[in-house]
Amino acid sequence: MSTLESLLESMRLSSDSDVGRWMLERGVALADEETMSQAIHDVYCGIAADHAEPNEKDHAQALAMIAALQKQVESRPPA
């Protein structure tokens, strides 16, 4: 079960509900420091990385990315 599916389930919604469809159609993704740092590591470090797991820099970038996303959500109305 994906994180998005878990969220919808905890909200007692299905992916067929209006909210569920809206989230899926918009490509809504949920991330915390761990999932974001892993994504950053996978995309920017990739197969040529000299480390197998996200490092301190990946975690710092994840926190910065999450803060920037939160700022955008707070300052802009949904499309």
Rounded mean pLDDT of the chain? 88
Please say if the pLDDT value at position 20 is more than 80.
Answer: yes
> What are the φ/ψ torsions at residue 46 (nearest 5 degrees)?
60, -160
Q: Where are the domains of the chain?
A: 1-30, 31-79
CA angle, residues 23, 72, 20, in degrees to nearest 5: 5
**Cα-atom radius of gyration of the chain, to the nearest Å?**
15
pLDDT tens-digit readout, 30-42: 889 999 999 999 9
Query: CA–CA separation, 35 vs 42, rounded Å?
Result: 11
- pTM of the entire structure? 0.72
